[in-house]
């Protein structure tokens, strides 16, 4: 097992992507250290924070109740974000390596997940500072073993959730609804599950022998994950449901070459891990409206414009930053076939427009809070379709980094470069400039109509804009193809 871990570490540090992106890795490392220091700070001063929020409640009890919410969100976050460690077992199949070790590897490897490390950074400072200073040693040992068991349970349970709930978006929606309903009932004190959770953890900590229960639950989640890996360890067992689901897109063929290109785009998203995980994460972002669309922000046009820009095209913008890079594995086939460059670029534009329109329709119920939200979102939809789409596609012609579609989206920066960061500045900065300009003259609400009008004009003249974009694509396509061939 140790040799397998060493092999994976060597494979990572020797990969061309690691060496080519050394500066990006350094920057991300600095950001990671900054994040960890902030979490340690929160864990160390959690007692002061909790005393201000819950002045009449025991600090440990308050922290334990907060852990209920933490583990609930942690389970959802792991499902969408945490990658299941994979191992290329083909080189080992002809070697005397027991299959059981190959199956135990991803489970053991997942323990070193960055998510688990962050949980320890949050909990251990509080445990050492408060719990150990307040309660007897046996209570402290039982408390920390119980909390660590719950972290391990969430970690290993992630394997089972990804297996069963990744089969369809309705199951994912069901999971989100159930967790959201539980938290909602607890916040409204209809069913105070966090109180019961704190009482249960207190009882286990006071009666040391009960620590066997959380340890057993963690062990069961581990062996359940092992069983699922063992059951699905053969290629011939892979289901073909995705192929059956996407075959219904044949109606797009009626729209000629552009329809076929869009059909290929949709199939690529639904059949590959990275674009599909990006789609799921974008659905989660749509719930941000509940955070920002509050009564105190209804007259804040700056916030409403930003949310309108973000919500109506959350998936389109994130996906559009890598428009041509998504096709990197089969970009040469497009170059070799008689595919019109104009139709290829136009299919990307129409895909951006359609996904933005879908995002607008999904977020339309927010207009029930205030008519301003619906008006601003409609204006930002026009702006995103007319301006953001063209700007993103133009910047994407400078992308030359290959993307592995089979890798997960979380903590995966393959294909990410300076162009992705720079692409957001003009499309997000221009609405801010327009708003500030109208605010300077005392009519900030008129910025909405200006942005909508600018977007509408760009849509009317999109044929001319797409022709200019196609010329840029033709000029850059051979350099793009060369970069996409680099593994």
253-296 pLDDT, tens per residue? 777 788 888 888 888 887 777 787 778 777 777 777 777 787 78
Per-residue pLDDT reduced to its tens digit, 190-203: 777 888 888 888 88
**What does the block give as tokens for 116?**
């688990």
Residue 480: closest CA among 351, 327, 267, 347: 327
Please name the residue ranges forming H helices in 207-321.
Answer: 212-231, 241-246, 256-271, 273-285, 289-292, 301-312, 314-320
- Residue 244 forms part of a structural domain: no
- CB-count burial class (<10 Å; 0-12, 13-18, 19+) for 388: buried
Residue 453: closest CA among 474, 442, 438: 438
Looking at the structure, tell me whether residues 232 and 372 fall in a common domain: no
**Domain-terminating residue out of 181, 211, 237:** 237
Give the CB-side neighbour count of residue 201, counting CA atoms within 13 A. Answer: 25
Looking at the structure, tell me whether residues 328 and 391 fall in a common domain: yes
pLDDT at res. 212: 92
Looking at the structure, tell me whether residues 367 and 457 fall in a common domain: yes
Q: Quote the CA–CA distance of 297 and 135 in Å, as a whole number.
A: 45
Please name the residue ranges forming H helices in 54-134.
Answer: 59-81, 99-109, 114-126, 132-134
Inter-helix orientation angle 193-206/137-165, to 10°: 130
Looking at the structure, tell me whether residues 200 and 290 fall in a common domain: no
pLDDT at res. 243: 45
pLDDT at res. 59: 87
- Residue 242 forms part of a structural domain: no
Number of residues written out for the chain: 487
- DSSP symbol at 403: -
**In degrees rounded to 5, what are phi and psi of residue 460?**
-60, -40
pLDDT at 46 > cutoff 80: yes
Domain count of the chain? 2
Residue at token pair 């953001």: 388
- CB-count burial class (<10 Å; 0-12, 13-18, 19+) for 61: middle
- Residue 478 forms part of a structural domain: yes
Residue at token pair 């996904």: 355
- DSSP symbol at 299: T
Looking at the structure, tell me whether residues 219 and 259 fall in a common domain: no
Could you tell me what percent of the chain has a pLDDT over 70?
A: 79
| DSSP helix/strand/coil, 38 | helix
Please enumerate in sequence order all residues whose Cβ is within 8 A of that of 179, keeping only pairs 6 or more positions apart, or say none. Answer: 72, 75, 76
Looking at the structure, tell me whether residues 214 and 267 fall in a common domain: no
pLDDT at 216 > cutoff 90: yes
Looking at the structure, tell me whether residues 471 and 350 fall in a common domain: yes
Query: What separation in angstroms does the CA of 201 have from each of 144, 186, 221, 303?
Result: 10, 17, 19, 41
Looking at the structure, tell me whether residues 230 and 285 fall in a common domain: no
- Residue 247 forms part of a structural domain: no
- Residue 290 forms part of a structural domain: yes
Q: Quote the CA–CA distance of 426 and 434 in Å, as a whole number.
A: 12
- Residue 245 forms part of a structural domain: no
- Which range has the worst mean pLDDT, 71-80, 131-140, 371-380? 71-80
**Domain-terminating residue out of 237, 268, 292:** 237
Looking at the structure, tell me whether residues 303 and 411 fall in a common domain: yes
Per-residue pLDDT reduced to its tens digit, 462-485: 888 999 999 998 888 888 888 877
Q: Quote the CA–CA distance of 84 and 265 in Å, as a whole number.
A: 25
Looking at the structure, tell me whether residues 319 and 207 fall in a common domain: no
pTM for the model:
0.58
**Domain-terminating residue out of 176, 210, 237:** 237
Contact 290, 183 (CB under 8 A): no
Q: Quote the CA–CA distance of 317 and 285 in Å, as a whole number.
A: 13
Looking at the structure, tell me whether residues 231 and 260 fall in a common domain: no
Residue at token pair 């050492």: 128
- Residue 249 forms part of a structural domain: no
- Residue 310 forms part of a structural domain: yes
Looking at the structure, tell me whether residues 371 and 411 fall in a common domain: yes
What integer best gives the mean pLDDT of the chain?
79
Q: Quote the CA–CA distance of 308 and 360 in Å, as a whole number.
A: 9
**What does the block give as tokens for 224?**
């359940």
pLDDT at res. 246: 44
Q: pLDDT-based confidence at 240, cuts 50/70/90?
A: very low
Residue 323: closest CA among 356, 302, 347: 347
Tell me the chain's radius of gyration from C-alpha atoms: 25
Q: Quote the CA–CA distance of 303 and 293 in Å, as a whole number.
A: 9
Domain assignment of residue 225, given as a range = 2-237
Q: How many CB atoms lie within 10 A of CB 305?
A: 23
**What does the block give as tokens for 85?**
């460690």
Q: Quote the CA–CA distance of 138 and 205 in Å, as a whole number.
A: 8
pLDDT at res. 326: 81
């Amino acid at each position: 097992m140790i040799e397998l871990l060493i092999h994976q570490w060597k494979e990572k540090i020797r990969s061309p992507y690691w060496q080519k992106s050394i500066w990006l890795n350094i920057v991300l490392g600095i950001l990671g250290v900054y994040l960890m220091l902030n979490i340690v700070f929160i864990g160390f001063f959690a007692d002061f924070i909790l005393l201000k929020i819950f002045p009449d409640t025991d600090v440990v009890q308050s922290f334990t109740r907060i852990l209920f919410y933490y583990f609930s969100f942690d389970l959802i976050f792991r499902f969408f974000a945490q990658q299941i460690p994979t191992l290329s077992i083909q080189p080992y199949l002809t070697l005397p390596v027991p299959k059981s070790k190959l199956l135990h590897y991803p489970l053991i490897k997942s323990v070193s997940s960055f998510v688990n490390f962050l949980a320890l950074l949050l909990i251990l400072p509080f445990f050492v500072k408060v719990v150990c200073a307040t309660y007897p040693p046996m209570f402290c040992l039982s408390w920390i073993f119980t909390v660590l068991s719950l972290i391990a349970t969430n970690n290993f349970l992630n394997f089972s959730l990804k297996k069963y709930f990744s089969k369809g978006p309705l199951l994912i929606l069901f999971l989100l609804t159930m967790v959201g309903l539980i938290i909602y009932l607890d916040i409204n004190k209809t069913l105070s599950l966090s109180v019961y959770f704190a009482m249960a953890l207190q009882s286990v900590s006071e009666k040391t022998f009960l620590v066997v229960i959380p340890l057993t639950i963690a062990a069961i989640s581990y062996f359940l994950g092992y069983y699922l890996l063992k059951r699905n360890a053969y290629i011939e067992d892979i289901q073909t449901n995705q192929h059956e689901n996407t075959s219904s897109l044949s109606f797009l063929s009626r729209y000629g070459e552009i329809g076929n290109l869009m059909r290929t785009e949709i199939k690529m998203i639904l059949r590959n891990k990275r674009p599909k995980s990006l789609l799921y994460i974008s659905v989660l972002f749509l719930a941000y409206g509940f955070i920002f669309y509050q009564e105190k922000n209804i007259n804040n046009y700056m916030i409403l414009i930003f949310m309108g820009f973000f919500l109506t095209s959350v998936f389109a913008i994130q996906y559009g930053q890598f428009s041509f890079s998504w096709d990197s594995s089969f970009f040469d086939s497009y170059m070799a076939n008689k595919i019109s460059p104009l139709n290829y670029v136009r299919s990307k534009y129409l895909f951006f427009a359609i996904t933005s329109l879908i995002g607008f329709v999904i977020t339309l119920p927010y207009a029930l809070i205030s008519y301003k939200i619906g008006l601003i979102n409609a204006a930002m939809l026009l702006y995103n379709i007319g301006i953001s789409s063209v700007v993103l596609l133009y910047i994407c012609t400078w992308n030359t980094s290959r993307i592995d579609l089979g890798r997960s989206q979380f903590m995966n920066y393959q294909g990410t470069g300076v162009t992705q960061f720079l692409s957001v500045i003009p499309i997000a900065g221009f609405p801010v400039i327009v708003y500030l300009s109208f605010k300077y003259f005392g009519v900030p609400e008129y910025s909405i109509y200006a942005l909508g009008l600018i977007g509408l004009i760009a849509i009317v003249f999109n044929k001319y804009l797409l022709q200019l974009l196609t010329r840029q694509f033709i000029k850059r396509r051979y350099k793009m193809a060369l970069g996409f061939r680099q593994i």
